[in-house]
Amino acid sequence: MSAPDFSDNAAASRYELRIDGELIGTADYALRGDVVAITRVYTRPTHRNQGLAFRTTEYAVGRIIADGHRILPMCWVAEKYLDSHPELAAHVAR
């Protein structure tokens, strides 16, 4: 298995995780002004329990912050990730 490859598929409003070219996970989002809502984080069942949902969320959060937006977690994965990283609290819109 090669290293995960993350990207922003803006046309589909989602961050994507690919491994060996295969779409493995996504973090869907909605841009509302200066806030990006993470609405759903998904990992294919064959790749679950490997921490990939958190890695996808980590990528999404990093991109959102780098783009100067705040994050609104609207799914349990994003909420749990942000709760485990209190240093990101200033970037969260609640």
What pLDDT, on the 0 to 100 scale, is given for residue 1? 65
Q: What is the extent of the structural domain holding 49? A: 5-89
Asked, for residue 33, whether it belongs to a domain, the answer is yes
Asked, for residue 39, whether it belongs to a domain, the answer is yes
What's the Rg (C-alpha) of the chain? 13
The residues that bridge with 33 in the sheet, in sequence order, are none
Asked, for residue 41, whether it belongs to a domain, the answer is yes
Fill in the amino acid letter for 49. N
Asked, for residue 28, whether it belongs to a domain, the answer is yes
Asked, for residue 22, whether it belongs to a domain, the answer is yes
Q: How far is CA 36 from CA 43, 50, 84, 93, in A?
A: 20, 26, 19, 9
**CATH number for the domain harbouring residue 39:** 3.40.630.30
Fill in the amino acid letter for 7. S
The count of structural domains within the chain is: 1
Asked, for residue 94, whether it belongs to a domain, the answer is no
Asked, for residue 58, whether it belongs to a domain, the answer is yes
- Written as tens digits, the pLDDT of the chain (94 aa) is 688 999 999 999 999 999 999 999 999 999 999 999 999 999 999 999 999 999 999 999 999 999 999 999 999 999 999 999 999 999 999 7
What pLDDT, on the 0 to 100 scale, is given for residue 2? 85
The count of other CB atoms within 10 Å of the CB of residue 30 is 12
Asked, for residue 50, whether it belongs to a domain, the answer is yes
Determine what percent of the chain falls in helix, strand and coil, rounding each to the nearest 5: 35, 40, 25
pTM, two decimals, is 0.94
Task: Give the C-alpha separation, 10 to 74, whole Å.
Answer: 18
